[in-house]
Structure 1
Amino acid sequence: MKLRSLGATLRIARRDALRAKGRSALVVAMIALPVLGVTGADIVHRSGQLTPAERAERLLGGADAYLTAYAPGSTVHQLPFADDGAYAVAPREGQAPTPEQARGAGTVPADLLRELLPGATLLPAGPGPTTSAASRHGLLQTDTAEADLTDPAWKGRITLVEGRAPNAPHEAAVTRAFLDESGLGIGSTTTLKGLEKTPFTLTGVVEHPGDLGKVEFVGRPGEVVEPLTALAPAAKAPTGLSEQATTKASWLVKAEAGKPLDWAGVQRLNQYGFTATARTAVLHPPADAELSYRPQRFSLDDSPRKNAAVVAATVAGMALLEVALLAGPAFAVGARRSRRQLALLAAGGGDRGHVAAVVLGGGLVLGVAGAAVGVLGGTGLVAVLRPWIEETAGNRFGHFGLRATDLAAIGLVGLVTALLAAALPALQAARQSVTAGLTGRDTVKPPSRRTTALGAVLFITGAATALLAVGTNDGTGRGIAVFAGLDRMTLMVLAGSVTAELGLLALTPLLVSLCGRLARVLPLSGRLALRDSARHRGRTAPAIAAVMAAVAGSVAVGLYTASTEARDRETYRPHTPVNAVTLAVTSGDPQLPRLRSAVEQDMPGLGERADLSQAFYSWCQGCSSEVTVKGGVPRVGGVPGLNTLVVGDAAVLHNAFDLRDPAADQALAAGKAVVFDASRIHDGKVLLQLTGGFTSAPQPGSTPGQDIKEIAVGAVLVDDPAAARYGAGVVGARTVEGLGQGVTVKPVGAVWLPAAAPDHRSQQRAEATTDRLAPMAQLSVERGFQPKGDLPTLALTGFAALVVLGAACIATGLAAADSRRDQATLAAIGAPPGIRRRLSGVQCAVIAVLGAALGTVNGFVPALALLRTRAIDYPGATNPVVVPWGEIALTALAVPLLAGLLTGLFTRSRATLTRRLG
């Protein structure tokens, strides 16, 4: 085609687009929406990719370097960013350490750094212990840190976002998450566990740019970390105070003016066992030849992340057809509405190429407009929603990442999609008879047998490829990128899923034609709707395919997510029955009665209480051990273990083991032990093991034996695997006390089993009371398996529902516009006005139901393939297949019915009479 002809066709296409503004706006919106979404996702992704300077700022703040006493006495090899990779090499056995290694092992790290970096300023920057802070509801677990926020060295690492920096004794700053969970605010006071005599005033809100959800208490230097660390060694039992998050001391370093720490300086510090991330070395990294450490290029141990990538890639690949399938009917109807104009063009000497070029020109014009609107809209949307996106993601953008090549490629995809959507209508328009176009008559052809056969072959081949590709994979090469960052298995699953979808797309005209044969058994509205859909398969099939694509993606991710959650639920092992509230104290704690009453007061409605006790064996003054079932490992204090017989009554069976068996209650009252594992019973008895002291003095190179006694106790078996998860069994206190031989019973806590778990506020109140009465006590609530959330499934279900509604309604609207003559004929022969509503409603429901049914079938292909992928990654693990029937019913049944009802409701009853041409 000549350039002059191309210009003419584009002018015709532009005028036609401006003439049919509604249809043009619809196509532009359908092109722009996915382009907008992909543009936004690309900008968010690029904005989260930190540059070396941005990474350095988040780690170093305004300082020059970040140092860690990684392995004193060893030599360290690292990358410029130590967090990217580092390892230590200790002196070999029998080999003398180097002078640097000896000096690193024999000198306090901070003192050594002052010697190695004269004139530099060291600011301790290591994390403090995790402890509990007083909140409005009780106690809140929080991380701790120290920083002088008035020093510019901290700016960028810890950012003050509200209030002022602490500048007086016993002032502190906290993160927003701390305030949200504690109920406190700026100006409030709080105390830390172990430092109750020192109240802190909260003066500001800080954030870690890379971890916005962190719950942290930031005190002034010397007021928090050191006092809490001094308390940690005394915490031999549960106190709510953990050991320091890391034993490796870290510092921010402000180098002497004019003497920045370069890569040579970093390597020098490595000789003494330090890792160092220096701003100069990061911004001006050494050549690969200067590195003594090589990073690992890929890993085979990140199966969960790879599976998530497979899910995302599969769904994205299946959705690539969505826009073309949705926009295709609009171009088809546009060509049908313009067929008289196109026929005149052909009658005036234009060939088929000119006719097709006009329709394709419409795709080009609207594609350019849609791509531009999508790229600009996505950019603006991310800019407006940036704070919300950052808060949701949990980290700040490093910069606003606009990459021209990415945006151009995304816009080009939108343009190509529009051209693909217009390709089939253009081909159909070019093939139409000039006479039929001038008279407005339709020619109906049966579905192509060749296309139908090709569709069946594609569907079978695609499904087999996706499923068998996983079955024949031996795991080698898993995680190694082959194309576009995807490994071979991912590509085969993706290719097979898309091929199966294309096969169903090719079968759609046949299915529509078969549905048309059912028209004879339906009333008038249904008969007309099915016959019209079958007659105009070029309009109906793409809309059905669009619904199919959306529902397939929703079903695939929904089935995979539901099955993954079911596997996680099966493998979850609670310590006590779900909803159980457990109070654990050190054996014989005199505060236990007060603690029980306090818990019941702070958590009303707990129900029956079961008092827990344990049996202890004393073999000398001040020497005792826990009595266990034979084969168990003795434990000192704490909650009973799996090899421990809990001492108590029938209430313990009810609450601690969720077992309500009258026979077991009677056996326990009769003095017998109740156990849940047949392997522990021999001749109707269970053997209790009493472990005493060593039988001989320890000798070099040998392990001394221990004095072990065994006592047989009558027992009954209750074969309950669920109860066996929580302990070996239960025995009555009188039975244990009657054993003698130094065996005693001591109370260790209580357990309640309410119908529903207490709320978090009452738990915080009870924990605060427990901590006040007995700092060594522990209070826990077993809330059962907590799913990570069905946000992806819900989002895809919602998206699929919108596409089902949109595609069905769009196709119905186009059908209504395309069948005005038929509707006018009905009105002329006296058909009631309501028949037009029913006709539109049934047409819409047919499109939605067929598309949803095909999408449900097609969605199982990638889902089952992905589940087989997971089975390879986790050999021997349970891999249930759970179908989310609720989501499927919503998209496959409820939404199509809703679409039909809405379409019928909003369709005008009366039609306008038209004049027939010819």
Structure 2
Amino acid sequence: MTSWRLALRLARRDALRSRGRSILVLVMIALPVLAVTAADVVIQTQQVSSVEGLDGRLGAAEAQVTVPAEGRPMAQRFDPNTGTTTVGRKQPAPTVEQLSAALGGDRLVEQRAGSVTLATDKGITYAEATEVDLRDPVASSLFRLTSGRLPEDADEVVVNPAVLESGYTVGDRLDLGRTQPAPAIVGVGDFAAIRTPPAVAGPVGSLGLDAESGSVPGWLVEGDPVSWDTVEQLNAMGALVLSREVIEHLPPDSEIPEEVRWDTGGDNAMIAAIALIAVMALLEVVLLAGPAFAVSARRQARSLALMAATGGTPAQSRRVVLAGGLVLGSVAALLGVALGIGLGRLLVPVAQRWSSSWFGPFEVPWLHLAGIAAFGLASAVLAAVVPAWIASRQDIVAVLAGRRADRPPSVRSPILGVVLLAVGAAMAAFGASAGSGAGEYLIAGSAIVAVLGMILVVPVVVVGVARLAGRLPLSTRYAARDAARHRTRTVPAVAAVAATVAGVVTLAIALSSDEAENEGTYTPTLAMGQAAVTGYDLRPGLWDALERAVAGELPDATVTPLAGVSGDHWVDLSAPGSSAPLLDEMSVGFGSTVLVGDEVPEVVPGISAEDRERAAAVLADGGVVAFTDHPVDGDEVEVSVDDRGRPVRLPATFVGFEDGAYPTLAAVVPPAALDALGVDDSTVTLVVTGVDVSAEQQQDVTEAVAAVTPNAGFYVERGYQAKESTRIVQFVLAALGAVLMLGGTLTATFLALSDARPDLATLSAVGASPRRRRGIAASYALVVGFVGALLGAAVGFIPGIAITYPLTAPAYSDTGPFLDVPWLLVVGLVLGLPLLTAAVVGLCARSRLPMVTRLD
């Protein structure tokens, strides 16, 4: 302990003496701690637990009781939202008096929940609806009034801002439909449980919520706490209960009824990804901070040599360097956690704007943050381990004489690195073939093993680059050879860049391949760019109204009715002499499985131009076009309608859908064949052509169509559209990789330039120009960045390609797995960022240095 106290005192003094380097180390360690802390605070605040969400669901009540329409005895988990089921025969639903008696005479405040349709300027939209007396103290906290007042009778309601965006203002009456009440809006505010969707609330009876509208009767309980025994008693009566007492003081899991007791299991891929990210982040911080401690150990080399010359042991030398990691790591960890909490507090309102649900109360997960702080401290100590070991083995005579040189690279380390790379590749291959489950863990482990192997190979690669630099320009040749001569600071820098690039490439390949699977398995409903109105159970007159609604919003569009066999008829087609169906599976995309016309409509996707011409010729001759997903010989088809007698045999041609297209139609028959089949045709779809429908116009038409009938919808085929969240993740991934790579390269380069100041001063003494010194600085950054990025990209391909197999392997189809390499991102990391870093270093590096004497 005496030795450690001395080492810590020396480390503290050295940190204060070399403030610039100390600040750099603090930043490198504190930044990841700060980022993870802020993210953890925001995530924990965003997650609303059952306890935190009680006030939004119960208000000030002790419990909420609902009675499903079945009236059967129920079994539920502690929170009914997580699992319920019926467990007995149907019985009379309990009355309010019976529920109150079971609750010990507690007061019950009626509450109904459901949804309503709101008329808008363009048509109709839907809103969440609640009927409850918001003036009652039990329910008052369910709604936070921001303007106006609370409703006093069944003719008044309050709404949230989303309803006002639909065209309503305070004082207007809500148009809920012809048979529903039209209450007046008297207040605006926020619902505790609903944030962005349109929502409305009023007294019981104000919104027409009843059993016919799908509303489930419920009551808020004011009185004593409701125990789990009482919950089970109410379950037996046919009621479900959300109890504040039960959620805040959870009974043991053994109390959960067997009918709803299940193991949710774990997400293997998520656990593996978290473990991979944690280990890779630790490696990244260790490797980034390593050069700083290497330079520090270099600065302390003479002091350590004097200590060894006067009787100091290698262990004492190691403690001096390790103490620097302890001192700086402790300060960085505490500073990062403190700043991360503050940053998280500032980011919570920003994140709330992008969320469709309310966040919980601001939460600081101290146990998590203690682990994050320990992570920062451990990374600093681990970063100092290698420099400490090297410092304890330095040549005392050479150091005291002023000579500087690293020991020759070990032969065993690169051999072990190659072995680890081979093991990593084998683990990745085995994990890819193992599928989901253990496969994700093997691939995550392969990434870690491969990166560790790469780190051990880096010294040999750096020496190899120096030996191959003979034909390069002077500045680049000098930088490459200087990097090899001072491997103690070069290797961690190159390895840090490589680890960053490996992680980014792995995640980028996985993400791009997942998107490729989504796009490759996407099945269009209509032909690309086409739009249509489809519906079911529609009277003939409604189609005319729908056509007028579309024309009102898209006056330049051409609306063409598409005829088909009415959905009241069941039509079966088969090849003569075969019992096998023509289509193994299909979806009804046009309101009918059989269309009527003289050609295959352009709106039907997946039909080649050649097949369309052949089909048109057969339809013109009175034949049938039958769609199939397997080869069929013959020129006739048997058609049976509603199993009425013997099937009708008609001339036909068989057409297949193109690869990747999903069957949305069984057949097209000519009008002349309807008499033979004994059916009539009717409008089943409206095809909209002649205009490019924008997203805003699509929303307007959708509301207009819904105003005519809720059984119809409007759809525009735009092909596969990547999710906005996916684009954001891709952007964040590229930005994160760029920032980490730039930060690591710049940090390592400027540390190296600081350490190489005597060499650069010597160059100046022998006549090197300021431009030459800037060129050397930029070349050093280029060597570190390019070699690291190239190694990292190569290693990142191993787990990146492997993870695509369990990630995109087909579970229920014959397509996949999918592999998509984001070459633009890879080339940008390997070529673009090193060149950018070199340019930044060349512009920022000092060109004039003070003269320093050299003894060697």
Shift of 1:12: 2.5
Q: Which residue does the alignment assign to 2:274?
A: 312
Q: Which residue does the alignment assign to 2:637?
A: 686
1:76 paired residue among 74, 77, 86: 74
Q: Which residue does the alignment assign to 1:89?
A: 87
Shift of 1:179: 5.2
2:666 paired residue among 715, 724, 728: 728
Q: Which residue does the alignment assign to 1:645?
A: 594
Distance 1:30 1:565 in 2: 33
Aligned length: 841
Distance 1:839 1:755 in 2: 60
| TM-score (normalised: structure 2) | 0.88
| 1:558-589 Cα deviation digits (max 9, x unpaired) | 22222222223333333223433112356662
Distance 1:863 1:122 in 2: 58
Distance 1:286 1:226 in 2: 35
SS at match of 1:431: coil
Q: Which residue does the alignment assign to 2:831?
A: 893
Q: Is the 8 A contact 1:812 1:840 kept in 2?
A: yes
Q: Is the 8 A contact 2:146 2:189 kept in 1?
A: yes
Q: Which residue does the alignment assign to 2:227?
A: 262
1:831 and 2:768 matched: yes
Distance 1:307 1:186 in 2: 50
2:694 paired residue among 759, 769, 774: 759
1:529 and 2:479 matched: yes
Q: Is the 8 A contact 1:629 1:645 kept in 2?
A: no
Shift of 1:510: 0.7
Q: Which residue does the alignment assign to 2:578?
A: none
Shift of 1:654: 5.1
Distance 1:874 1:722 in 2: 16
Distance 1:603 1:119, change over 3 A: same
Distance 1:717 1:603 in 2: 34
Distance 1:913 1:81 in 2: 74
Q: Is the 8 A contact 2:131 2:209 kept in 1?
A: no
Q: Which residue does the alignment assign to 1:797?
A: 734
Distance 2:67 2:153 in 1: 30
1:431 and 2:401 matched: no
Distance 1:20 1:886 in 2: 41
* Bigger Cα displacement from structure 2, 403-412 vs 891-900: 403-412
1:545 and 2:483 matched: no
Q: How do 1:547-586 residues align onto structure 2 when only pairs under 5 Å count?
A: 547-584=497-534
SS at match of 2:205: coil
Q: Which residue does the alignment assign to 2:811?
A: 874
| 1:342-361 Cα deviation digits (max 9, x unpaired) | 44444455443333332222
Q: How do 1:351-750 residues align onto structure 2 when only pairs under 5 Å count?
A: 351-392=313-354, 394-469=356-431, 471=433, 491-584=441-534, 589-590=540-541, 592-593=543-544, 595-596=546-547, 598-603=549-554, 609-616=559-566, 625=569, 627=571, 629-630=573-574, 640=590, 644-650=593-599, 652-653=601-602, 660-661=609-610, 663-664=613-614, 665-677=616-628, 683-691=634-642, 706-707=644-645, 709-715=647-653, 717=655, 720-721=658-659, 725-733=663-671, 735-736=672-673, 739-740=675-676, 742-750=678-686
Distance 1:260 1:212 in 2: 29
Distance 1:775 1:351 in 2: 85
Q: Is the 8 A contact 2:595 2:667 kept in 1?
A: yes
1:862 and 2:802 matched: no
Distance 2:75 2:708 in 1: 50
| 1:723-748 Cα deviation digits (max 9, x unpaired) | 66221243443x345x3564322223
| 1:458-500 Cα deviation digits (max 9, x unpaired) | 2222332344256458x7xx5xxxxxxxxx6655443332122
Q: How do 1:78-477 residues align onto structure 2 when only pairs under 5 Å count?
A: 78-90=76-88, 105-107=91-93, 109-110=95-96, 112-113=98-99, 116=102, 119-129=105-115, 131-135=116-120, 138-160=123-145, 164-167=149-152, 169-176=154-161, 182=166, 190-193=174-177, 198=182, 200-201=184-185, 203-209=187-193, 212-226=195-209, 230=212, 244=214, 249-255=216-222, 257=223, 259-286=224-251, 292-293=257-258, 296=261, 298-299=263-264, 305-392=267-354, 394-469=356-431, 471=433
Shift of 1:853: 1.9
Q: Is the 8 A contact 2:183 2:207 kept in 1?
A: no
SS at match of 1:328: helix
Q: Which residue does the alignment assign to 2:577?
A: none
| 1:325-380 Cα deviation digits (max 9, x unpaired) | 00110111122234334444444554433333322222121111101101111111
Q: In angstroms, what is the RMSD of aligned CA positions?
A: 3.6
Q: Is the 8 A contact 2:181 2:206 kept in 1?
A: no
Q: Is the 8 A contact 1:676 1:724 kept in 2?
A: no
Shift of 1:28: 0.4
Q: Which residue does the alignment assign to 1:821?
A: 758
SS at match of 2:680: strand
| 1:445-466 Cα deviation digits (max 9, x unpaired) | 3321111111111222233234
SS at match of 1:122: strand
Distance 1:137 1:893 in 2: 52
Shift of 1:850: 1.8
| 1:281-336 Cα deviation digits (max 9, x unpaired) | 44455566665448646345x7xx44233323322322221111001101111222
AA at the equivalent of 2:477: R
Shift of 1:683: 2.6
Q: Is the 8 A contact 2:551 2:559 kept in 1?
A: no
Distance 1:679 1:325, change over 3 A: closer
Q: Is the 8 A contact 1:319 1:553 kept in 2?
A: no
Q: Is the 8 A contact 1:324 1:417 kept in 2?
A: yes
SS at match of 2:118: strand
What percentage of residue pairs aligned between the two structures are identical? 32
Shift of 1:73: 5.5
| 1:719-776 Cα deviation digits (max 9, x unpaired) | 535666221243443x345x356432222332135785x2332123223433455665
Shift of 1:520: 0.6
Distance 2:349 2:779 in 1: 45
Distance 1:6 1:192 in 2: 77
Q: Is the 8 A contact 2:65 2:239 kept in 1?
A: yes
Distance 1:164 1:346, change over 3 A: farther
Shift of 1:503: 0.7
Distance 1:270 1:781 in 2: 47
Distance 1:707 1:655, change over 3 A: closer
Q: Is the 8 A contact 2:291 2:489 kept in 1?
A: yes
2:744 paired residue among 797, 807, 815: 807
Shift of 1:822: 2.8
Q: Is the 8 A contact 1:820 1:911 kept in 2?
A: yes
| 1:377-433 Cα deviation digits (max 9, x unpaired) | 111122222223344455445444334443333222211211111121122222222
Q: Which residue does the alignment assign to 2:37?
A: 39
* Bigger Cα displacement from structure 2, 683-692 vs 12-21: 683-692
| TM-score (normalised: structure 1) | 0.83
Q: Is the 8 A contact 1:70 1:273 kept in 2?
A: yes
Q: Is the 8 A contact 2:638 2:647 kept in 1?
A: no
Shift of 1:444: 4.1
